[in-house]
Structure 1
Amino acid sequence: MASLARRAHLKHANAGSGSGAAMFPLRRPLEIFTSEQNMSDFEDAAREALAFLRRRLGFDLWMITRTENDDWTVLHCEDQSYDVHPGQLFSWSDSFCSEMVKGNGPRIAPDSELVAAYSSAPISKKLPIRAYIGVPLLLSDGSLFGTLCAVDPKPQPVNIQEDQELMEMIGMMLSKILQMELKADNESSRAERFEAQALSDALTGLYNRAGWEQLVASEDGRNRRYGKSSAVVVIDLDDLKLVNDSNGHAAGDELIRCAADTLTQASRTDDIVARLGGDEFAIIGVNCDKAGGEALRERVTQALHQSGVRASLGMAWLTPGTT
């Protein structure tokens, strides 16, 4: 990798003052990117990659993004003029990157107006874009996680196309780091839930409020790091006081246990179900978009109705930019 970077650096250094790279000289091309941070950490690797590429190739905006359905979320960025920030949400179908992934446009376009798929993309009508770079970031099963990309309001020298191999190598390296970190994160998530079992509600066996708050904080962090989203459904039983007053607390306890079993059955295996206290329950739909959250709420509503449990429900959809 270092030899490739040295060759690319020498090539641009010899290209003369007219090249884009000559405007951003770099004494040690890829060594700065690989030696000064722990590269097993995706967040640190992402920031170092963006800083390196900004120095190496210029461009006003560099981003690492996550795509999920039509949500295109900015995870990390180096921005000089576009006023883009981490957590910002765009439409994936509007982007140059969606066209690049489909093979409708090149990974490096020195003048994006000369590429039909890019010049007609809706995002080009919203932002001043005249040059583009993009490579996909992949998960371990080969599916798309997001992109490493850059845009600039001015056309760039044609010889930036010679850096495509370097871009693809950095994209591949970031993908590998991401894959390893996600695997470790999945194991960490299982360990967190095992530890939180000690924070369980004695009557239902669900997580209690302390367990809920611990797991909510963990999922919140994952949403921010990886551009995920979650749905939170809150359930309040309507008749607990009436049942307690009419039939005694044993009947009330049975109503609570019935509600807990129903909520567990209506949720997916990875979802988090908790009893917050009294007649209040909550569910986190993990890695769940808005449509998935609405489907979860509907399943819960129908399941409670079939079980004869009257309840009031509310739902919030959490994106990487919210808590």
Structure 2
Amino acid sequence: MFTTHSFSDFDSAAQAALTYLHQRMGLSLWMITRTELDDWIVLQAEDHGYGVQKGDVFHWPDSFCSRMVRGEGPHIAPQSDLVEVYRNAPIAQQVPIGAYVGVPITYGNGALFGTLCAIDPQPQPDNLADELPLVELIAKLLSTILDFFLKAEMASRREEQQQFLTERDEVTGFYSHLGWEKLLASEEARCQKFGFPVSVIIVDLEEGQRPPAEVDRLMGQAAKIIRTICRQEDLCARIGARQFAILCIECHISQADFIRERLALGFQQGNITVDLGIAERSPQQGLHAAVDMAKSAAHEQGRFRTKVKV
């Protein structure tokens, strides 16, 4: 049963719910998931046989849950192979599924966040369907808890950003490298909790022999372009003598690529030579890996180069 203590975060509430549901209803795998475009991200898992763990990512269109959300299949299917839409779903060909449970988890405005779901390799008794009111109640409670903690995280993010501004680069006014590292750590923790999409853009200014004062002037000009083009929620830092990093919060790679294209045009119009690299965080590898990939992309591509006027 649920314990009487309060939950310190969404993770602990979600895990308590999964543990309770497994104890009450059985089924080998219970999950709390988030949907992001075609990604189906596992935020919490109570697994007893499938080998699924937190951070795993599956293909949302392949899932039973995608069909359940569209109203094409029931919330509970004690014998899922008797439901045509589930029997024909790609995931049914990838893993053994004899029974299925699934209900939506939503944001405060009712939009889909993800699902509370379960599967088992063996068919279950028909009376499994009688548990639907309980599963729906728990999903609604989790949706309410989710909304509370999402709002709390947004407030915490704003406070951290102000705090980390003490680590400021004097020339550009952006976060310093130390501030950037603190931001990465905080956002990685949020991504692990809630599955936020985050992208990284790296801006490398041209190499060349210039006096330090000239480099600073050039970096100041580049910072003005970045500040003008990036969204209010994007976090910008100077992480090297000639290098900027931009953390695009709750931003898929397609959205970040639009920002990159605008940056490329802005630098071209400003006659500043840059290399731009872009990458999106993957739940398996995290934000630091995305930063490394964006740096590599900037180094390898070098496709936004225009002559600098000195």
Is the structural similarity TM-score above 0.5? yes
Partner of 1:311: 274
2:102 aligned partner: 134
Sequence identity of aligned pairs in percent?
A: 43
Kindly indicate whether residue 242 of structure 2 is the aligned counterpart of residue 279 of structure 1. Answer: yes
2:205 to 237, 254, 266: 237
State the 1:250 CA deviation.
4.0
> In structure 1, which of residues 160, 171, 184 is the aligned counterpart of residue 139 of structure 2?
171
Letter in 1 for 2:6: N
Aligned residues of 1:50 and 1:77 also touching (Cα < 8 A):
yes
Pairs aligned (count): 286
1:319: Cα distance to partner?
2.1
SS in 1 for 2:2: helix
TM-score by length of 1: 0.85
Q: Which residue matches 2:168?
A: 200
Matches within 5 A, 1:45-60: 45-60=13-28
8 Å contact from structure 1 (residues 62, 150) kept in 2: yes
Letter in 2 for 1:312: D
Matches within 5 A, 1:84-233: 84-233=52-201
Structure 2 alignment gaps of length 5 or more: 287-310
In our comparison, the structure showing a higher alpha carbon Rg is 1
Letter in 2 for 1:178: L
**Which range is displaced more, 81-90 or 310-319?**
310-319
Rounded Cα–Cα distance in structure 2 between residues aligned with 1:212 and 1:41: 25
Out of 210, 221, 231, the residue aligned to residue 268 of structure 1 is 231
User: 1:234 deviation in Å?
Assistant: 1.4
The answer as to whether partners of 1:60 and 1:151 remain within 8 angstroms in 2 is yes
| Inter-partner Cα distance in structure 2 for 1:103 and 1:40 | 34
Separation in structure 1 between the aligned mates of residue 25 and residue 221 of structure 2, nearest angstrom: 61
Query: Is the CA contact (8 Å cut-off) linking 1:228 and 1:320 kept in structure 2?
Result: no
Superposition deviation, residue 40 in structure 1: 5.0
Q: Residues of 1 paired with 2:113 and 2:8: CA distance?
A: 18
Shift of 1:191: 0.4
CA displacement 1:231-258 (0-9 Å, x = unmatched)? 111111105x44x25xxx4443221111
1:33 aligns to 2:2 (yes or no): yes
Contact 1:40–1:177 (Cα < 8 Å) also in 2? no
Gaps of 5+ in 1: 1-31
In structure 1, what is the Cα distance between the partners aligned to 2:255 and 2:94?
A: 29
Contact residue 267 and residue 296 of structure 1 kept, 8 A: yes
**In 1, are the aligned partners of 2:205 and 2:243 still within 8 Å (CA)?**
yes
SS, match of residue 156 in structure 1: coil
Q: Secondary structure at the match of 1:223?
A: helix
Output the CA distance in 1 between the equivalents of 2:12 and 2:215: 51
* Cα offsets for 1:166-212 (capped at 9, x unmatched): 00000001111110000000000000111112111111111111111
CA contact (8 A) 1:108 1:161 kept: yes
State the one-letter code of the partner of 2:199: A
CA RMSD, Structure 1 to Structure 2 (Å): 1.4
Q: What is the distance in 2 between the residues matched to 1:187 and 1:67?
A: 23
| Alignment deviations for residues 69-88 of structure 1 (CA, whole Å, 9 cap, x no partner) | 11100111011111111111
Q: Which amino acid aligns with 2:130?
A: E
**C-alpha contact 1:38 1:44 (8 A) present in aligned 2:** no
Q: 1:40 to 1:176 in 2, by over 3 A?
A: farther
How far residue 297 of structure 1 moved from its aligned partner, in angstroms, is: 2.4
Structure 1, 228-237 or 50-59: larger mean CA deviation: 228-237
**Alpha carbons 2:36, 2:197 under 8 Å: kept:** no
1:65 matches 2:33: yes
Aligned counterparts of 1:305 and 1:222: Cα–Cα separation in 2: 35
- CA shift in 2, pair 1:141/1:174, >3 Å: same
**Whole-Å separation in 2 of the counterparts to 1:164 and 1:40:** 27
Please give the secondary structure, in 1, of the residue aligned with 2:124: coil
**Quick one: which amino acid aligns to residue 136 of structure 2?**
E
Residue pair 1:54, 1:62 contacting (<8 A) in 2 also: yes
| AA partner of residue 160 (structure 1) | L
